[in-house]
Structure 1
Amino acid sequence: MSHHLGEKPRGQEVEVREPSHLESRHVPVVEIPLDFEDPHRAALEDNPEKAETLTWRTLLAVLSLSFSYVCPISCGFVLITGILEQVGTDLGDTENITWIVGGWSIASSVSFSIAGSLSDIFGRRYTIVSGEILAMVGSIVACTAKTTLTLAAGSTVIGFGCGIIFVSYAGIQELVPNKWRGLLGLTECAMTIPWAAAGTLIATTLNANTAQGWRWCYYIGLIYGVLSMIGTLVFYWPPERPQYDFQKSRWQEIKEIDYIGFLLYTGGLTIFLIGLTWAGTAGHAWKSATVIAPIVVGILTLAACFVYDFTLAKQPFFPLHLFRQVREFTVLLVVVFVAGAVFYSFAGLLPQGSLYMYTNDPIQIGIIALPNGIAQVLFGGLATIAMGHVGHLKLQVIIMLIIQTVFVAAYSGVVPYNRAGWMTFQFFAQGAFALITLLCYVIAGLNVPLKHLGLASGLIGTFRSGGGSVGNAVFNTILTGVKNEQIPKRIAAVAVAHNMSSDALALLIPATIENAVGVPGAFKTVPGITPAIEQAAAIAFKEAYAYAFKRVFWASIPFGVLAIGCAVLIKDPSQYLTNHTAIHMTKGSSKAQPTVTHTEEKHA
Structure 2
Amino acid sequence: MAASFEEKRVDAGVEVTEHARSEARHVAVHEIPLDLDDPHKAALEDNPEKAEGLTLTTFLAIASLSFSYVCPISCGFVLVTSILVPIGTDLGDTQHISWIVGGWSIASSVSFSLAGAISDVFGRRWTIVAGEIIAIVGSIIACTAQSTLMLAAASTVIGFGCGIIFVSYAGIQELVPNKWRGLLGLTECAMTLPWAAAGTLIATTLNANTAAGWRWCYYIGIIYGVLSMIGTILFYYPPPRPQYDFQKSRWQQIKEVDYIGFLLYTGGLTIFLIGLTWAGTPGHAWKSASVIAPIIVGILTLVACFIYDFTVPQQPFFPLSLFRQVREFTVLLVVVFVAGMVFYSFAGLLPQGSLYMYTSDPIQIGVIALPNGIAQVLCGGIATLFMGKLGHLKLQVIVCLIFQTVFTAAFAGFIPMNRAAWSAFQFFSMGPFALITLLCYVIAGLNVPLRHLGIASGLIGTFRSGGGSVGNAIFNTILNGVVKGQIPKKLAEVAATYNLSADQLAALIPATAENAVGIPGVFASVPGITPAIEQAAAQAYKEAYAHAFRMVFYSSIPFGIIAIACACCIKDSSQYLTNHTAVHMVREGALGKNPGRTHEHANTAPMFEDSKVTHSEDDRSS
TM range (shorter): over 0.9
The residue that corresponds to 1:514 in the other structure is 514
Aligned with 1:13 (options 9, 33, 41):
9
Q: Which amino acid aligns with 1:592?
A: R
Runs of 4+ in 1 over 6 A off after TM superposition: 23-30
CA offsets 1:231-283 (integer angstroms, 9 cap, x no match): 00000000000010011100011111101000000000000000000001111
Equivalent runs, 1:32-181 vs 2, <5 Å: 32-181=32-181
> Alignment partner of 2:520: what SS?
coil
> Alignment partner of 2:528: what SS?
coil
Structure 1 CA distance, aligned partners of 2:76 and 2:276? 24
Shift, 1:315, TM fit: 1.0
Would you say the 8 A contact 1:16–1:30 is kept in 2? no
Structure 2 CA distance, aligned partners of 1:560 and 1:202? 30
Structure 1 CA distance, aligned partners of 2:227 and 2:20? 38
Would you say the 8 A contact 1:68–1:228 is kept in 2? yes
Structure 1 CA distance, aligned partners of 2:257 and 2:265? 14
Structure 2 CA distance, aligned partners of 1:430 and 1:549? 16
- Relative distance call for 1:8 and 1:217 in structure 2 (3 A) is farther
Q: Which amino acid aligns with 1:199?
A: G
Structure 2 CA distance, aligned partners of 1:68 and 1:345? 23
- Relative distance call for 1:201 and 1:33 in structure 2 (3 A) is same
Identity of aligned residues (%): 75
Structure 2 CA distance, aligned partners of 1:591 and 1:408? 51
The residue that corresponds to 1:335 in the other structure is 335
> Alignment partner of 2:10: what SS?
strand
The residue that corresponds to 1:348 in the other structure is 348
The residue that corresponds to 1:399 in the other structure is 399
The residue that corresponds to 2:421 in the other structure is 421
The residue that corresponds to 1:408 in the other structure is 408
Structure 2 CA distance, aligned partners of 1:596 and 1:489? 73
Shift, 1:15, TM fit: 4.4
- Relative distance call for 1:93 and 1:388 in structure 2 (3 A) is same
The residue that corresponds to 2:369 in the other structure is 369
> Alignment partner of 1:13: what SS?
coil
- Relative distance call for 1:591 and 1:390 in structure 2 (3 A) is farther
- Relative distance call for 1:123 and 1:25 in structure 2 (3 A) is closer
Equivalent runs, 1:474-493 vs 2, <5 Å: 474-493=474-493
Structure 1 CA distance, aligned partners of 2:133 and 2:72? 10
- Relative distance call for 1:102 and 1:24 in structure 2 (3 A) is closer
Shift, 1:31, TM fit: 3.2
Would you say the 8 A contact 1:357–1:542 is kept in 2? yes
Structure 2 CA distance, aligned partners of 1:150 and 1:193? 29
Would you say the 8 A contact 1:404–1:433 is kept in 2? yes
Would you say the 8 A contact 1:25–1:602 is kept in 2? no
The residue that corresponds to 1:207 in the other structure is 207
Shift, 1:23, TM fit: 7.3
- Relative distance call for 1:445 and 1:16 in structure 2 (3 A) is farther
Shift, 1:497, TM fit: 1.0
- Alignment pair present for 1:231 and 2:227: no
Structure 1 CA distance, aligned partners of 2:297 and 2:12? 46
Structure 1 CA distance, aligned partners of 2:506 and 2:21? 83
Q: Which amino acid aligns with 2:8?
A: Q
Structure 1 CA distance, aligned partners of 2:17 and 2:479? 62
CA offsets 1:178-199 (integer angstroms, 9 cap, x no match): 0000000000000000000000
Would you say the 8 A contact 1:13–1:30 is kept in 2? no
CA offsets 1:293-331 (integer angstroms, 9 cap, x no match): 000000000000000001112211001111000000000
Structure 2 CA distance, aligned partners of 1:403 and 1:54? 34
| Superposition RMSD in Å | 1.7
- Relative distance call for 1:55 and 1:415 in structure 2 (3 A) is same
Structure 2 CA distance, aligned partners of 1:489 and 1:591? 73
Would you say the 8 A contact 1:181–1:388 is kept in 2? yes
- Alignment pair present for 1:261 and 2:264: no
Equivalent pairs counted in the alignment come to 600
Q: Which amino acid aligns with 1:507?
A: A
Would you say the 8 A contact 1:113–1:462 is kept in 2? yes
- Relative distance call for 1:529 and 1:432 in structure 2 (3 A) is same
Shift, 1:14, TM fit: 2.8
- Relative distance call for 1:230 and 1:490 in structure 2 (3 A) is same
The residue that corresponds to 2:390 in the other structure is 390
Q: Which amino acid aligns with 1:107?
A: A
Q: Which amino acid aligns with 1:97?
A: I
Structure 1 CA distance, aligned partners of 2:532 and 2:553? 31
- Alignment pair present for 1:287 and 2:283: no
The residue that corresponds to 2:459 in the other structure is 459
- Relative distance call for 1:486 and 1:16 in structure 2 (3 A) is farther
The residue that corresponds to 2:585 in the other structure is 585
> Alignment partner of 1:14: what SS?
coil
Structure 2 CA distance, aligned partners of 1:25 and 1:167? 26
Q: Which amino acid aligns with 1:355?
A: L
Would you say the 8 A contact 1:10–1:33 is kept in 2? no
Equivalent runs, 1:494-573 vs 2, <5 Å: 494-573=494-573
- Relative distance call for 1:249 and 1:207 in structure 2 (3 A) is same
- Relative distance call for 1:39 and 1:20 in structure 2 (3 A) is closer
> Alignment partner of 2:582: what SS?
coil
Query: What are structure 2's unaligned runs of at least 5 residues?
Result: 589-593, 599-603
CA offsets 1:115-160 (integer angstroms, 9 cap, x no match): 0000000000000000000000000110000000000000000000
Would you say the 8 A contact 1:205–1:362 is kept in 2? yes
Structure 2 CA distance, aligned partners of 1:396 and 1:24? 44
Would you say the 8 A contact 1:279–1:286 is kept in 2? yes
Structure 1 CA distance, aligned partners of 2:544 and 2:277? 21
Structure 2 CA distance, aligned partners of 1:254 and 1:25? 19
The residue that corresponds to 2:274 in the other structure is 274
Shift, 1:383, TM fit: 0.3
| Range with bigger deviation, 238-247 or 9-18 | 9-18
Query: What are structure 1's unaligned runs of at least 5 residues?
Result: none
> Alignment partner of 1:506: what SS?
helix
- Relative distance call for 1:573 and 1:25 in structure 2 (3 A) is closer
- Relative distance call for 1:286 and 1:173 in structure 2 (3 A) is same
Q: Which amino acid aligns with 2:158?
A: I
- Relative distance call for 1:30 and 1:374 in structure 2 (3 A) is closer
> Alignment partner of 1:138: what SS?
helix
- Relative distance call for 1:529 and 1:177 in structure 2 (3 A) is same
Q: Which amino acid aligns with 2:52?
A: E
Would you say the 8 A contact 1:197–1:376 is kept in 2? yes
Q: Which amino acid aligns with 1:209?
A: N
CA offsets 1:479-499 (integer angstroms, 9 cap, x no match): 000000000110011011111
> Alignment partner of 1:195: what SS?
coil
- Relative distance call for 1:24 and 1:352 in structure 2 (3 A) is closer
- Alignment pair present for 1:198 and 2:198: yes
Shift, 1:518, TM fit: 0.7
CA offsets 1:463-509 (integer angstroms, 9 cap, x no match): 00000000000000000000000001100110111111111110000
